[in-house]
């Protein structure tokens, strides 16, 4: 299952490209840590309504176009992929596929599809849908999407794309790769979309507006455990069990057990906490500052999931096509300028003041949750040192020339930065105020401006790219290749300068090489070395200034059974049920 609570758990995302994300929102009860070896799903009872929180309205209801958790959190349970990840074994297992066969040393895969799958409108699911999804949507050069970004590192030639997928018969699909692709089976967890509903949009050139937030929910057709019943902007998203979902329990009863779900759209985390405390929702991610309060709630279990794989960071716009003054782009494109800013950020203070001590400073693009790629000492440490930060800036020619308290560059331009984040996110707003205060101590004027999350994402990913600096986050993924849409220069989420047609820097060229190498390297130890080199380059160049990694925590009612949450998602969420 590709379930979400808030924007913290990302089973749906863990084996897909990175998405822009929110940070976690927030008897006698102690923290619980579950052991996969001991957890077993038991037979449940049908019925009930599961109530949860969503941190924002979706930007789109089209999974191919979703690049932010505000959208994926809403639509993830509507769709399925050919594979999914068993969160106990952490290995790919069949989903819409019944089985597969690997041939030619990992360059050819033959998938046999389930014959008992129907779309949520009752239409049969066949190989035509699989071929359509990959050929006409994900690999369509006119449809920017993160899944396509994943495969472009392997399918480099036009003939590679043409030969990638074909139908052998109504329930057999063959994939052909020019070279072995290490995370191929995990990558096929991407949602399969219905040809009978979306083909006309491809032919008419309207796919980029298909399944938008104003679409009639009955038009959103998937093969996942739920269907969208109703969406009221700023209020709720309501779901019903998919009457054609293929999975059944051992007694032959169709899953999911819980037949209705209601997501309440609550942007303010304090309001979200109030709703949980009043019993209006059944689970929510926990902010560090709320741990003591929530531990005193009756009928609540607190789960300690360990370090989150998601990251929070500051990024500057380095895009020469952006609607940003040229002199500011010159600042942002200078590595020493970015390093100076990194030294001016009090990460320890952020951990204590924002996360109540339940976080650790972060200096690179992965967290301790990303084993085996993470190791202590992998990244250079940018210690908090305002004197050093100011000295670096002065070495670059910044001085307070007119004695007004603010630094100016050599041309006399005031060192002023407009810093954005998503409004309503208390943690990011607090981080922004801390950064603003410290940067102003060394002569940098900061205009800090929280704005709507989806507006922020549009600025980051769409022309004219009118932004200067942003505090935002990314979901994590287990396999490094699924961060390709962020770190490769062609990626749609290469935020500081996306979808480059001509490489801007030598270090980005090396990153491209490493991510392309890692995609085809099947030796585990060699892959680890490749990606660690890439991560070190990112940490040294500081295109993204990472801030902190908080602990992942979940509060849930004790009547939710078969609940096994992890930082990567919920194990077999379709088997959740509510006890009396």
Q: Can you spell out the DSSP letters for 85-103?
A: EETTTTEEEESSEEEEEEE
Q: Quick one: pLDDT at residue 492? A: 86
**Could you please report the per-residue DSSP string of 12-69?**
HHHTS---EEPPPP-----EE---TTT----------EEEEEESS--S-S-TTT--BH
Residues of the chain with pLDDT under 70: 1-30
Supply 67's token pair: 């690049």
Sorted by sequence, the CB contacts under 8 Å of residue 560 that are 6+ apart come out as 50, 282, 283, 576, 577, 578
Instruction: With beta carbons less than 8 A apart as the criterion, state whether 61 and 211 touch.
Output: yes
* Angle at the Cα of 172 from the Cα atoms of 167 and 178, rounded to 5 degrees: 60
Distance CA 80, CA 84 (A): 8
Supply 348's token pair: 């320890």
Asked if residue 191 is part of any domain, the answer here is no
Sign of the alpha-carbon dihedral angle for 361, 362, 363, 368: positive
Distance CA 496, CA 499 (A): 10
Asked if residue 54 is part of any domain, the answer here is no
- 255 phi and psi angles, rounded to 5 deg: -90, 160
> Which of 115-139 are b and which e, b meaning 16 or more Cβ less than 10 Å from the residue's Cβ?
eebebbbeeebbbbbbbbbbbbbbb
* Angle at the Cα of 346 from the Cα atoms of 343 and 348, rounded to 5 degrees: 125
Give the count of domains, the chain. 1
- Chain-centre distance for alpha carbon 473: 8
Instruction: With beta carbons less than 8 A apart as the criterion, state whether 264 and 53 touch.
Output: yes
Asked if residue 141 is part of any domain, the answer here is no
Distance CA 554, CA 567 (A): 10
Asked if residue 545 is part of any domain, the answer here is yes
Asked if residue 573 is part of any domain, the answer here is no
Reading across the β-sheet that carries 49-54, which strands appear in turn? 49-54, 260-265, 236-241, 226-232
Supply 424's token pair: 């309503």
Per-residue 3-state assignment (H helix, E strand, C coil) for 468-492: CEEEEEECCCCCHHHHHHHHCCCCC
Instruction: With beta carbons less than 8 A apart as the criterion, state whether 471 and 314 touch.
Output: yes
Print the domain residue range for 516.
311-551
Q: What is this structure's pTM?
A: 0.75
Q: Quick one: pLDDT at residue 90? A: 78
Sorted by sequence, the CB contacts under 8 Å of residue 38 that are 6+ apart come out as none
Supply 219's token pair: 């038009």
User: Distances from the Cα of 394 to the Cαs of 293, 329, 334, 336, 489, in angstroms?
Assistant: 47, 18, 13, 11, 31
Tell me which residue of 486, 540, 533 sits closest to 339, measured CA to CA: 540
Instruction: With beta carbons less than 8 A apart as the criterion, state whether 548 and 379 touch.
Output: no
Distance CA 270, CA 287 (A): 10
Please tell me the total number of residues recorded for the chain in this structure: 580
Asked if residue 121 is part of any domain, the answer here is no
Residue with tokens 């066949």: 126
Which CATH number is 356's domain given?
3.10.105.10
Proportion of the chain in helix, strand, coil states, percent, rounded to 5: 30, 20, 45
Provide the CB-side half-sphere exposure for 63 (13 A, CA): 29
Asked if residue 323 is part of any domain, the answer here is yes
Residue with tokens 């979706």: 58
Residue with tokens 């003939």: 159
Q: Quick one: pLDDT at residue 356? A: 86
Asked if residue 416 is part of any domain, the answer here is yes
């Amino acid at each position: 299952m590709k379930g979400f609570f808030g924007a913290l758990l990302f089973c749906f995302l863990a084996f897909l490209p990175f998405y822009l994300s929110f940070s976690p929102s927030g008897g006698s009860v102690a923290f619980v840590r579950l052991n996969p070896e001991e957890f077993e799903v038991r037979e449940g009872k049908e019925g009930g309504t599961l109530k949860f929180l969503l941190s924002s309205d979706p930007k789109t209801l089209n999974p191919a176009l979703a690049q932010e958790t505000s959208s994926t959190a809403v639509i993830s349970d509507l769709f399925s992929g050919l594979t999914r990840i068993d969160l106990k074994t952490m290995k790919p297992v069949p989903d819409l596929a019944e089985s597969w066969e690997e041939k030619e040393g990992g360059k050819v895969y033959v998938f046999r599809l389930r014959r008992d799958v129907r779309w949520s409108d009752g239409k049969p699911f066949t190989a035509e849908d699989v071929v359509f999804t990959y050929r006409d949507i994900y690999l369509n050069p006119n449809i920017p999407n993160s899944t396509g970004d994943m495969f472009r590192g392997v399918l480099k030639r036009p003939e590679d794309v043409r030969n990638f997928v074909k139908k052998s018969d109504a329930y057999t699909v063959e994939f052909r790769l020019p070279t072995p692709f290490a995370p191929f089976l995990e990558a096929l967890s991407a949602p399969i979309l219905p040809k009978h509903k979306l083909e006309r949009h491809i032919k008419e050139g309207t796919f980029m507006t298909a399944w938008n937030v104003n679409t009639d929910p009955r038009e959103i057709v998937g093969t996942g455990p739920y269907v969208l019943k109703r969406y009221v902007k700023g209020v709720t998203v309501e779901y019903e069990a998919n009457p054609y979902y293929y999975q059944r329990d051992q007694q032959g009863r169709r899953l999911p057990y819980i037949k209705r779900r209601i997501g309440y759209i609550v942007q303010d985390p304090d309001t979200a906490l109030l709703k949980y405390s009043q019993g209006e929702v059944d689970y929510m991610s926990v902010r560090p500052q709320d741990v003591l309060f929530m531990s005193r709630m009756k009928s609540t279990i607190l789960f300690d999931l360990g370090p989150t794989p998601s990251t929070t960071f500051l990024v500057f716009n380095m895009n020469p096509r952006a609607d940003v003054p040229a002199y500011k782009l010159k600042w942002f494109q200078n590595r020493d300028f970015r390093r100076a800013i990194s030294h001016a950020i009090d990460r320890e203070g952020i951990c204590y003041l924002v996360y109540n001590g339940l976080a650790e400073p972060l200096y690179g693009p992965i967290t301790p949750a990303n084993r085996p790629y993470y190791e202590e000492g992998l990244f250079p440490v940018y210690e908090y040192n305002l004197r050093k930060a100011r000295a670096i800036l002065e070495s670059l020619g910044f001085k307070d020339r007119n004695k007004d308290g603010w630094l100016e560059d050599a041309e006399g331009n005031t060192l002023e930065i407009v810093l954005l984040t998503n409004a309503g996110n208390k943690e990011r707003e607090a981080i922004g105020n801390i950064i603003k205060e410290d940067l102003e101590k060394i002569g940098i004027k900061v205009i800090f401006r929280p704005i709507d999350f989806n507006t922020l994402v549009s600025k980051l990913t769409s022309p004219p790219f009118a932004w200067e600096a942003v505090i935002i986050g990314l979901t994590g993924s287990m396999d490094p290749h699924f961060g390709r849409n962020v770190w490769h220069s062609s990626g749609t989420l290469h935020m500081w300068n996306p979808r480059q047609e001509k490489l801007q820097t030598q270090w980005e060229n090396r990153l491209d090489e490493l991510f392309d190498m890692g995609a085809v390297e099947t030796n585990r130890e060699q892959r680890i070395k490749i990606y660690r080199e890439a991560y070190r380059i990112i940490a040294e160049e500081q295109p993204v200034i990472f801030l902190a990694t908080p602990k992942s925590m979940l509060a849930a009612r004790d009547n939710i059974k078969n609940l096994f949450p992890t930082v990567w998602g919920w194990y077999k969420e379709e088997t959740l049920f509510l006890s009396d």
